[in-house]
Amino acid sequence: MSSANAGGAPEPVTPPAPASRKSVTGTRKAVAVLFLLPALVLLGALVLYPIGYSLFRSFFDKSGDFTAFDNYETLFTDDGIRTAIKNNAIWLVVAPTVATALGLIFAVLTERVRWGTAFKLVIFMPMAISMLAAGIIFRLVYESDPDRGVANAVMVSVHDTFAESSAFPQGHPSTNSPLRSAGGGAFVTREPVRAGTPVVLPLTGVPPGDMPDDAEAARPARADPDRVTGTAWQDFTRGKGRGEANAPDATEFGYAGITVEAVKDGEVVASTQAKADGTFALPKEADGALLRYPASNFREAYNGIDWLGPTLITPAIIGSYLWMWAGFAMVLIAAGLASVPRELLEAARVDGANEWQVFRRVTVPLLAPVLAVVLVTLMINVLKIFDLVFVIPPGSSKDEANVLAVQLYNSAFGDRDAGVASAIAVLLFLLVIPVMLFNIRRMRREGQR
């Protein structure tokens, strides 16, 4: 007997070793790994391998020669790529912020209208459209021709309601015309006019298709001893040698509605508008005056805004993005708003807060977690925006609308430069990481509450 047993102490008992280790759920780890293996293989093949290969390929040039960090230097020296980086920064700041703000406004307002559900459906419906289809739609919406583009059709309609456009923007006197330039776009007769002697005020330059619809064949004015009469018309006849200069012909059209003024010593003493056949008559006060076509007759017609031009192309594309994604933000925020305790809102109102104060001091702070989710989701989304920027801009504005995802496509498939394309992909990946880390930290904090 050992000394330990002699002292009466019991011998330690060694527990038997388990047959196999199990996870906390009671599942053998080997079985768990076996079930996770297909997912891990797909994750490696579809995510980890492309990331690793893109990083590796970014250190080689177009022909496959090792260039170290030359491709990354190109990202910040090439004008096209720098424009793409600048536009991505604009997208990152403007689009998620405005879309979240619009979603918040729509969500709050739809709670107060009778047909809130129908309104939400209409706002959310663009999400059912693909980005490619939305790009085609807005390419047509932004057409510069008001007869085709909805945006400019609205702009022209509003403009013409307050300031009517001229029907003769290209009108001007011919070489031997009795009219001369008066400056500022106006034209005036070379000599004073007299009552009883018909006046001719010929112009050219207006395309036949742009003549007023009610224009009729021009005819000479009748002499009237008590009035100054004359004819305003398009002094041009198709065909060489046809028609007589400075005299109305049957094949020529009158300038229906054009304004004619009588001017003495710089003062307008009489004014009138020509009839459909171009004839007009001024009172006897016009005797001895100069007749003038005011510049308002030749003001360029308002054709709206050049939405697809280099200046506005990025804001225009962001507008189409907001049309699609404001509904997404509204639905998420409305779901969060439905969980806000109504007694808190009522308590604020009882304490004397107005609706704006309730919204700013109570509603928005309570919705802060939801607003953060929407904002971060949209930030990740705009960093890889491609479809709208690829479809909407015309060829003349593509460089100004460029973003990193489009530049990646152009470098890879247009320039056949896989090195620069891979460097752009790595840059996009690095830009997404901070946003993802912020989102992960926020989700962990939410889970600890």
pLDDT 10s digits, 289-340: 999 999 888 877 778 899 999 999 999 999 999 999 999 999 999 999 888 8
List Cβ neighbours of 53 (8 Å cut-off, separation of 6 or more). none
Other C-beta atoms lying within 10 Å of the C-beta of residue 4: 11
* Burial status of residue 191 (CB atoms within 10 A of its CB: 0-12, 13-18, 19 or more): exposed
Q: Is 286's pLDDT higher than 90?
A: yes
Where helices occur in 26-149 by DSSP H, the ranges are 29-43, 49-57, 70-75, 79-110, 116-124, 131-141
Give the pLDDT confidence of 216-269 residue by residue, as tens digits: 999 999 999 999 999 999 988 765 445 678 888 888 899 999 999 999 988 999
- For residue 282, the model assigns a pLDDT of 94
Other C-beta atoms lying within 10 Å of the C-beta of residue 64: 10
b vs e for 419-449, b when ≥16 Cβ sit within 10 Å of the residue's Cβ?
A: bbbbbbbbbbeebeeebeeebeeeeeeeeee
How many residues in the chain?
449
Q: Who wins on pLDDT, 410 or 27?
A: 410
Q: Is 5's pLDDT higher than 80?
A: no
- For residue 2, the model assigns a pLDDT of 47
Cα dihedral 79, 83, 84, 88 sign: positive
Q: Is 204's pLDDT higher than 70?
A: yes
Give the pLDDT confidence of 138-196 residue by residue, as tens digits: 999 999 888 889 999 999 888 877 776 677 888 889 878 899 999 888 999 999 999 99
* pTM score of the predicted model: 0.73
Closest CA to 111 of 359, 389, 391: 359
Mean pLDDT, residues 106-134: 87
Q: Is 95's pLDDT higher than 80?
A: yes
List Cβ neighbours of 337 (8 Å cut-off, separation of 6 or more). 107, 108, 111, 363, 367, 370
Closest CA to 325 of 261, 377, 252: 377
Mean pLDDT, residues 404-432: 91
Model confidence band, residue 27 (pLDDT cutoffs 50, 70, 90): low
- For residue 41, the model assigns a pLDDT of 92
* Burial status of residue 23 (CB atoms within 10 A of its CB: 0-12, 13-18, 19 or more): exposed
123 vs 52: CA distance, rounded Å: 41
- For residue 184, the model assigns a pLDDT of 86
Average of per-residue pLDDT values in the chain: 87
Q: Is 359's pLDDT higher than 70?
A: yes
129 vs 376: CA distance, rounded Å: 22
